[in-house]
Amino acid sequence: MRHSEIARVVAGTLDGLSGLRVQVEVDLARSLPGFHLVGLPGTAIRESRERVGAALRHAGFRWPDRRITVSLAPADLPKEGAGMDLAIAAGILSASQQIPSVSSAVLEHTLLVGELALDGTLRPVRGLLALALDAAQLGVDRLVVPFEQLEEVDAAQATRRVGLRHLRELPEAIRALEHLRITRIAFPADGAEPPSDELNLSQVKGQEEAKRALTLAAAGGHHMLMVGPPGCGKTMLAHRLCTLLPALSCEQRAERLRVESCAGLAIDLSRASRPPFRAPHHTVTGAGLTGGGRPPKPGEVTLAHRGVLFLDEAAEFDGHVLDRLREPLVTKEVRLARLGRSTSFPAAFQLVAATNPCPCGWHGSRVKQCQCRPAQIHRYLRRLSGPLRDRIELWTVLDREPSEKWWRASDREWEEQLRRRIFAARQRALTRGSLNAALDGDALKEACGLEENARLWLQSWADRMNLSLRALAGTMRVARTVADFRGRDRVKQEDLAEALAFRPPV
């Protein structure tokens, strides 16, 4: 590009979980010195003048003694984050002819992202991987990023990139832009098992009914609620659900990494194939659970996308916060409207909740007598509203197991066989188009293929148990999973009976 008093470079910002191209234009005018930033910059970007100025001096460059105008286009969209520091600094250096000239085509296809420290070093930025994954949509094929995040950017396949530790390295990077080689990371093949984990289901002693429910949840993608006294194994079981799930596909891994990048979490590529597991504390706010803020950021339900959201001590959560789960459980996404703009976050997660049966925790236990009054027990469990309970298809009651079971050896061979059966059941469901938890309407009826006597039997029990239509559909979905686990093409009456045994009380 021919040096002039106007320079144009490319930066990026986040729009929800997607990258947004930002054209950074820098104009140096022969007028009174000053710095003006336009284009709806956020607070962090408005403060870039001080960071960029100090970084230029410590890197051995000079601050132009002119009127500096920086425009961020498109001008009508808000921009957030300190990741535009590097692009602003590069624009100022290019306009003031302090870095080498390259062709305009190279700069137009190069994304510069990084936050500058006062001494000129580059710091990691939130959402860089999302920008790298969207490089083609942003019209760029080269990245200049903080050196610390080179491994993170590797997840964006076939992306040319160079990492900077310090702003003083920018001229050399500019000269090398036209000669960057394409790098690529090789993911394991789809369907490969996740890396080995110390957690395994055979470590849980007893609790056969709860293990069966957990197995069905893994095979069909169903939501699950466990009720039992302290120390009966609810948390142990919940943490082992992810070990029963298959590895994420390449597309699902990219979705997980994108979410974690936009949320500012540390990226660990070695664990990217594992379904995520999120366990927020019961004091979490509504925005923390489902997302929110300005700009909108993903919440726990989105961080659990393609994995498991575990709510321990679910009855201790604020009821209004829990009710915010009702829509994502059905739609598999969260929609937030802020300042006239709508943002959508994915939320295809499995809900696993655990709670004590009463405030003291011992109602119905054979180990210790409950001290709570019936009204207290009723109010405690009703913190999980009826509509939310209706969406949970597997409900199991636990009690403490005798201590003698703790000494039994773990049977890893049994667990490996169980995983193979789960994988086979999931494959049977996927050949019909989706996991059983996603079936509804005519597709659910066709998948179950109930005979007339089985249908009438289910109908009589649904009326007797006062099941809603949603609960009835949930029972059929679980029964379809039971049949898949047993290798059946049609749902039988005994499959329906087992599914009804896992229905939550009304």
Residue 21 lies in a domain: yes
Residue numbers of the domain that contains 482: 439-506
Per-residue pLDDT tens digits for 418-430 = 999 999 999 999 9
Residues 417 and 450 grouped into a single domain? no
Residues 224 and 85 grouped into a single domain? no
Residues 370 and 453 grouped into a single domain? no
Residues 444 and 422 grouped into a single domain? no
Per-residue pLDDT tens digits for 223-255 = 999 999 998 989 999 999 999 999 999 899 999
Residues 327 and 464 grouped into a single domain? no
- pLDDT band at 186; cut points 50, 70, 90: very low
Residue 456 lies in a domain: yes
Residues 227 and 171 grouped into a single domain? no
Residues 395 and 471 grouped into a single domain? no
Residue 80 lies in a domain: yes
Distance CA 483, CA 476 (A): 10
- Which of 383, 407, 427 is at the close of a domain? 427
In this structure, which amino acid lies at residue 298? P
pLDDT for res 28? 94
Cβ partners under 8 Å of residue 374, min gap 6? none
Residues 75 and 101 grouped into a single domain? yes
pLDDT for res 228? 93
Give the rounded percent of residues in the chain with a pLDDT score beyond 90: 70
- Is residue 10 pLDDT above 90, yes or no? yes
Residue 168 lies in a domain: yes
Report how many domains make up the chain: 3
What is the number of alpha carbons within 13 Å of residue 434 lying toward its C-beta? 11
pLDDT for res 158? 54
pLDDT for res 106? 76
Residue 95 maps to which CATH number? 3.30.230.10
Residues 305 and 211 grouped into a single domain? yes
pLDDT for res 2? 44
Beta bridge partners of 23: 10, 73
- pLDDT band at 187; cut points 50, 70, 90: very low
Tokens of 363: 């109602």
- Is residue 287 pLDDT above 80, yes or no? yes
- Is residue 183 pLDDT above 80, yes or no? no
Mean pLDDT, to the nearest integer, of 81-99?
92
pLDDT for res 506? 53
- Which of 427, 455, 485 is at the close of a domain? 427
pLDDT for res 198? 63
Residue 272 maps to which CATH number? 3.40.50.300
Residue 185 lies in a domain: no
Per-residue pLDDT tens digits for 129-155 = 999 999 989 999 889 999 999 888 877
Backbone phi, then psi, for 267, in 5-degree steps?
-90, 125
Residues 126 and 238 grouped into a single domain? no
Beta strand 350-355 with 308-311 is parallel
3-state helix, strand, coil in the chain (%, to 5): 45, 20, 40
Predicted TM-score (pTM) of the model is 0.89
- Is residue 401 pLDDT above 70, yes or no? yes
Residue 450 maps to which CATH number? 1.10.8
- pLDDT band at 350; cut points 50, 70, 90: very high
- Is residue 442 pLDDT above 50, yes or no? yes
- Is residue 436 pLDDT above 80, yes or no? yes
Does residue 5 or residue 359 have the better pLDDT? 359
| 3 state SS of 395 | strand
Distance CA 173, CA 1 (A): 15
Helix (H) / strand (E) element for 86: namely helix 85-95
- Which of 121, 145, 179 is at the close of a domain? 179
Residues 205 and 302 grouped into a single domain? yes
Residue 189 lies in a domain: no
Mean pLDDT, to the nearest integer, of 50-60?
96
pLDDT for res 191? 47
pLDDT for res 416? 87
Per-residue pLDDT tens digits for 190-201 = 444 444 556 788
Residue 433 lies in a domain: no
pLDDT for res 490? 94
pLDDT for res 240? 92
Residues 226 and 368 grouped into a single domain? yes
| 3 state SS of 486 | coil
Residue 432 lies in a domain: no
The Cα diameter of the chain in Å comes to 89
